[in-house]
């Protein structure tokens, strides 16, 4: 039978079956901001599948207070870390190893922010200081996290790292701005570091390219509602929800996917390999 937990008004799992896929595993979730965020859903699903977790976000995000609800529901500590600061990440990993009495089995990177997007600066007029910040927060942070994890021997053998990305890394979505460049870099780091961590300790690293999803971060992109509507019409299965994405990420954290690494995995209802659909043609002809 299903397991559904209700703590402080938060549902740990919103469908009727769990499989204990992560029983006995421990992990770190970066980037849970509020109930709309995919990282929030991943945290809930990991705990429902038997895992213990640590939550981490930037100090400014923690001051918003929402993550405390998730921490209470998941019985997870919150360790603040600015992912652009190597000392912060070192401290986070030391705290995490002390908390668990050892290493972790999985890590979620769900981190992204673009000052150019926030300030509605056109891509061709990008502020380069802002662009550097976009890259540092949204992509280089993954390299920094993996470098520190390797240095502190945080991730256990056969561990799994997943970073969230978007198809704008491969195709042009004009209003996605410099976040598209950041996602392309993120996917490159996944492949390169995935090779080295795989050889060193059998740690696998993948990106999941999710359907456009209504998150607090995504809502800042100009025309995002149009992204969602278009993708829905272009996807044979429709857009994947945040909860469905969380299920997929859980499978990548589990032992069922031990030989999957260095991949960009599309979780988008078929959008990425569909040329055109009758629904889109019909909309264009109106």
pLDDT at residue 228 is higher than 70: yes
Quote the percentage of the chain above a pLDDT of 90: 84
Interval 237-275: pLDDT, tens: 999 999 999 999 999 999 999 999 999 999 999 999 999
Instruction: Find the distance separating the first CA and the last CA of the chain, reported in whole Å.
Output: 48
User: pLDDT value at position 63?
Assistant: 86
Extents of the domains making up the chain: 6-285
How far apart CA 27 and CA 100 sit, in angstroms, is: 9
Q: Where are the alpha helices (DSSP H) in the chain?
A: 38-48, 59-62, 67-74, 86-100, 115-118, 128-135, 141-151, 178-201, 224-234, 242-253, 278-285
pLDDT tens string 118-135:
999 999 999 999 999 999
- Indicate the pLDDT class of residue 7, thresholds 50, 70 and 90: very low
103 phi/psi in degrees, rounded to 5: -85, -175
From CA 61, how far away is CA 82, in angstroms rounded?
10
pLDDT score of 76 more than 90 = yes
Which homologous superfamily does the CATH classification assign to the domain defined by 6-285? NAD(P)-binding Rossmann-like Domain (3.40.50.720)
pLDDT of residue 64: 78
With 0.75 as the threshold, say if the pTM is over it. Answer: yes
**For residue 17, what pLDDT band results from cuts at 50, 70 and 90?**
low
pLDDT tens digits, 165-218: 999 999 999 999 999 999 999 999 999 999 999 999 999 999 999 999 877 666
Q: Is the model's pLDDT at 88 over the cut of 60? A: yes
Report whether pLDDT(4) > 60. no
Query: What is the full DSSP assignment across 189-232?
Result: HHHHHHHHHHHHH--EEEEEEEPP---TTGGGSTTHHHHHHHHH
């Amino acid at each position: 039978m299903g397991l559904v937990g209700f703590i402080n008004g938060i549902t740990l799992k919103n469908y009727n079956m769990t499989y204990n896929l992560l029983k006995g595993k421990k992990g770190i979730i970066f980037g849970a901001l509020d109930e709309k965020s995919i990282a929030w859903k991943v945290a809930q699903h990991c705990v429902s599948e038997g895992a213990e977790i640590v939550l981490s976000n930037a100090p400014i995000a923690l001051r918003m207070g929402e993550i405390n609800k998730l921490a209470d529901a998941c019985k997870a500590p919150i360790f603040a870390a600015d992912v652009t600061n190597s000392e912060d990440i070192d401290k986070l990993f030391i705290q995490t190893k002390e908390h668990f009495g050892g290493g972790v089995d999985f890590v979620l990177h769900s981190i992204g922010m673009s000052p150019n997007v926030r300030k509605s600066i056109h891509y061709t007029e990008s502020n380069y200081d802002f662009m550097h910040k976009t890259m540092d927060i949204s992509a280089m942070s993954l390299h920094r996290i993996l470098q520190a994890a390797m240095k502190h021997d945080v991730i256990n053998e056969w561990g799994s790292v997943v970073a969230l990305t978007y198809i704008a890394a491969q195709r042009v979505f004009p209003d996605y701005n410099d976040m598209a460049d950041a996602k392309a870099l993120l996917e490159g780091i996944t492949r390169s570091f995935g090779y080295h961590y795989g050889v060193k300790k059998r740690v696998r690293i993948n990106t999941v390219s999710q359907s456009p999803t209504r998150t607090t971060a995504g809502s800042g992109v100009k025309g995002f509602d149009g992204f969602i509507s278009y993708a829905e019409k272009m996807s044979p299965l429709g857009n994947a929800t945040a909860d469905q994405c969380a299920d997929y990420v859980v499978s990548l954290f589990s032992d069922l996917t031990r030989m999957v690494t260095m991949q960009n995995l599309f979780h988008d209802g078929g959008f990425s390999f569909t040329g055109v659909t009758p629904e889109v043609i019909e909309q264009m002809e109106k």
